[in-house]
Structure 1
Amino acid sequence: MIGSSKRKTAAAMPSRSEATKKTAEVLPSNKRKKAVISSACAPLFPDDMILEVLLRLPVKSILRFRSVCRSWAAMLPSKDFCSLHMATSKMMPPAPKLLVLSPASTFGSVAVYACSPSSPVDDLLFTFDCARRNSVEMVMPSPCCGLTLLYDAAAPAYYVCNAATRAITRLPPHRVPTYDSSAGLGFDAGTREYKVVRLINGVFGEKETIRCDVCTPGADRWRPATGGVPFKWSQFANSAVHHAAVNKIPPVFANGCLHWLINPSLIIRRPRAAIVSFSVAEETFGCVRSPPFWGPREHLGSLSQSEGEHLVVMDDQLCIVRDLRNGIPHGGTLEIWGLLDYGSGDWSLNHRIDLFGQVKRELADPRVVRVIGNVGNCKLGKKIVIATSKHLVHDKFQKKVYSYDPSRQVLEGILSVTETHTSLMLFVPGSRFSLLEESLALVHKTHEDLAFKNVLKKLRLHLIQR
């Protein structure tokens, strides 16, 4: 009896194919595919399971899936989904992936590529126009919540781009500094808003010895920071900006703040702070206490030391990298110190990379060695990403990027390029590449939008002249 009742019930219910045919007959042709997908997926998978699948998809697939149905079109671009997707991607990190700038075949354009250890530099993401092909550089070697800050020195102009979504926006014109300046990209987790922050040193005799300007992608102008730079921090801030500009030491973003490294050789007494911080949300300044090894005696008369120490974010922790090679051909080390607590200013030695064996051959010889970040963790296989620059001959520099496995002490090459520069100050390893991070973060305007607006502006001027 039980078996017969099941057969009757099954016979009374239409099959999935029959239901799909009836739905297709009723709906217009342009909505048939969406209805079929929705009717097929809804009874089989709960919403939580569908969400878990979507969170594990690459950005390229998510962009296509926005056209599946109205609910996905509303959910996938939302800020909540973007935050969840970024958190999920960090839990399952892939191999290190780089974002690489290279002159495009078209004159006056720059091509943006993706590169990884398993594939050559042939994955073209997008191109955009600029004044000069070699004038664009990466401001920061690691992305900020998926976005990358670029700078065109010829324009001059700043760009914010999301390489995963192929979106890029140009920031409003900024005042050209008369002296040193340094910029960084930060993220306000409360408002979910990105901000580009510029510190600008004034010249002798100016009213303000240092200024701070802020711009949000999508805004029409730069504005002064809400709090300004307090006088008590002005000496540290001036030193940090000069250090960033001269030695190409960019700020890093961690724990809601942008951080600039102070050059202690510019301060007579041992500085009580090593880092100047800027809260992106509150727009206020502060300082981070110096680690025990910090002091001016190590740096005086040693350009390589001031070049070698730099900031990096690893495992969401602010770190200082010490380059202790000191020109010694038979060894040396790279030390990575992590900040344990902002209040107490306690630091701990997280990693020591001994320059022996294969690591010695690749890292002991280059003039500049920079740690630019990491992927993975102790459980998933941590890899430290290291960039180097070596002066070959005349104006040629060889730049390489490696991934280093601290547990196995193995170095693996990712990228090797030879660049031509007329200035020795452009030996910076990360000026043409940075880490690539999958993200759905919006940049508000695409480069195509800007190009379309430029066309409209030219058309208006042409009509006015007629």
Structure 2
Amino acid sequence: MVESGVLTVSGRRLGAAQDRTRRITASCPPERSPEQQLPVAICCRTSTAIKLKRSGAAAVVHPGWVPPRLPGQLLPASAMASSTLRSRTQAGEGVLPIDTLYEILIRLPVKDLCRLRAVCRPWRSLLSDPQFIAAHATRHRRPLIVAGHDKSFRDDGILCDIIDLSGRVIKQIIRSTEDEWLISTQRNLACIAKGTSKSCQLLNLVTGDRFSLPEGLSQEHTPRKLDFMNYRASVALGQVASTGEFKLLRVIDNAFFSSRYMQLCEVFTFGGSGDARWRGKKAAQDRVDMSPLSRVVIDGVVYFLLDEDLINRQVLPKGIASFDLLTEEWRSILRGPVSIPAYYSNLSLAALNGSLVLVHCMLHVSMDLWFLVDTEKNLWVRKHTVEINLSIHDEFLAHPLVILKNGSIVTYIGSRGLLRIYNPRINTYTDVAEMGSRVGIGLYTGNLLSIANDAI
């Protein structure tokens, strides 16, 4: 029977009136066979101890418990200095071994671990430890979606939501000014536009820190004496795998004149050792498409659909430009699948399972996903056809976000504001959440436990 005055893992509020526990199955210790795995109920007392009931027998871990030392990790100075707490933890029967407690906690979902941080300082120390967080992230790999608010649809002061696959909001980011909107995300960073895409900030989704990018053209492009107000920008944020640096690529295009005007290309290194400025680079040999779904970043390379002229559209498959953020140079032009002519306008790019994917929407019925499997041979394979089945009156906007471990495909149906999961094995789909109209849909691939520090 659970005593009054305990904090339970389950339930939205942690108070004395709650009397429920959350049961999990844990290996204690991990080398035990499945037959020896015992159900464990965790009850968090507000004062004297933590009780873990195992098969009717109670093991006690005091709030002065010292977190387990991971390989290469030094215990916090406060824990090392507290010999009294260490002796209390090590003395007496029924005290649960520290490594066993670690194995139990690492199996709990993030929502519960965030509540357990309130138990005592040593518990908070463990649950906030980078090595524990990394180990937990390895075990609990569930994608989160960053969905920017469309101010024209709902002006509630929210910049973006971080959402799980059930539609539950994990965290909300408040706008700092009224004219902000989400451009893209990369790990725990988001690129934010302030008014227009020519004025941007980088936002750390975990800490809330902001970094304003320089405004205006680069030094290399300043002599052109262009009126920057007449231009629009397409901004992509990526990370160079070999160096870990985050870089932004900005393609600048004249918003009012025809395609005979050359686009400009600029690069900015975030946190670099050099000057914090935009650097002018050579533009792509052909004009790139400026729309958000026409670009994607994969492994430090930015891909763009080309905005090709009418002659090329009639005779060639769709062209794709690529910019290497490491070398800061454009690569050779790729061509899409031969079976998809370039004049199709309902094409977009996506990153799925680490591969470049050309998305071809077929009217209001389905969506073909073409994977680039060999860059040198320009070989594409159509791996999936996702059923959409929208009304002909819907403004067609559907885009794949991620492929889950079980092969299901998570898709955002923009015309209806739906988060939909499609199961290709049985050719069915489930609408899991109504998100409304969104701007800048992307994935959060940073640390899940960190993002939930102040989860709502």
| TM-score grouping bracket, smaller chain normalisation | 0.5 to 0.7
Identity %: 15
Match of 2:439 in 1: 431
Match of 1:152 in 2: 194
Match of 2:425 in 1: 407
Match of 2:285 in 1: 235
> 1:70-81 alignment to 2 at 5 Å?
76-77=129-130
Match of 1:244 in 2: 290
Task: Extract unaligned runs of 5+ from structure 1.
Answer: 1-15, 300-304, 390-397, 420-429, 444-466
CA distance in structure 2 between the aligned counterparts of 1:266 and 1:54, rounded to whole angstroms: 57
Which residue type is aligned with residue 161 of structure 2?
Y
Shift in CA distance, 405/211, structure 1 to aligned 2, threshold 3 Å: same
Which residue type is aligned with residue 159 of structure 1?
Q
Match of 1:137 in 2: 181
Shift in CA distance, 200/291, structure 1 to aligned 2, threshold 3 Å: same
Which residue type is aligned with residue 443 of structure 2?
L
Shift in CA distance, 29/100, structure 1 to aligned 2, threshold 3 Å: same
* Offset at residue 417 of structure 1 (A): 5.5
Which among 394, 397, 401 is matched to residue 369 of structure 1?
397
SS in 2 for 1:249: helix
> 1:97-246 alignment to 2 at 5 Å?
97-101=145-149, 109-116=157-164, 118-119=166-167, 124-130=171-177, 132=178, 135-140=179-184, 143-153=185-195, 157-163=199-205, 165-175=206-216, 177=228, 178-201=230-253, 209-216=263-270, 221-224=276-279, 228-229=281-282, 234-236=284-286, 238=287, 240=288, 243-245=289-291
Q: Which has the higher contact order (CA 8 A, sep 6+)?
A: 1
* Offset at residue 173 of structure 1 (A): 2.9
* Offset at residue 290 of structure 1 (A): 0.8
* Offset at residue 414 of structure 1 (A): 3.8
* Offset at residue 337 of structure 1 (A): 0.1
Shift in CA distance, 167/292, structure 1 to aligned 2, threshold 3 Å: same
Higher helix share: 1
CA distance in structure 1 between the aligned counterparts of 2:270 and 2:396, rounded to whole angstroms: 33
Shift in CA distance, 172/333, structure 1 to aligned 2, threshold 3 Å: closer
Q: Deviations over 1:142-175 (max 9, x none)?
A: x423433222225963233343x25241322322
Which residue type is aligned with residue 235 of structure 1?
Q
CA distance in structure 2 between the aligned counterparts of 1:50 and 1:365, rounded to whole angstroms: 54
CA distance in structure 2 between the aligned counterparts of 1:34 and 1:195, rounded to whole angstroms: 49
Compute the TM-score of the two structures, normalised by the length of structure 1: 0.61
Which among 317, 323, 329 is matched to residue 278 of structure 1?
323
CA-based RMSD: 4.9
SS in 2 for 1:173: coil
* Offset at residue 259 of structure 1 (A): 1.0
SS in 2 for 1:183: strand
Compute the TM-score of the two structures, normalised by the length of structure 2: 0.62
Shift in CA distance, 53/409, structure 1 to aligned 2, threshold 3 Å: same
Match of 1:258 in 2: 302
SS in 2 for 1:340: strand
Shift in CA distance, 224/442, structure 1 to aligned 2, threshold 3 Å: farther
Task: Extract unaligned runs of 5+ from structure 2.
Answer: 1-58, 67-76, 218-227, 452-456
Match of 2:454 in 1: none
CA distance in structure 2 between the aligned counterparts of 1:128 and 1:109, rounded to whole angstroms: 6
Q: Deviations over 1:322-378 (max 9, x none)?
A: 1121x7xxxx43110000022221110011124xxxx42x3655223232411412x
Check conservation: 1:384, 1:403, Cα contact below 8 A. yes
SS in 1 for 2:331: strand
Check conservation: 2:148, 2:181, Cα contact below 8 A. no
Higher strand share: 2
Check conservation: 1:101, 1:433, Cα contact below 8 A. no
Which residue type is aligned with residue 375 of structure 2?
Y
* Offset at residue 310 of structure 1 (A): 0.3
* Offset at residue 442 of structure 1 (A): 10
Are 1:388 and 2:417 an aligned pair? no
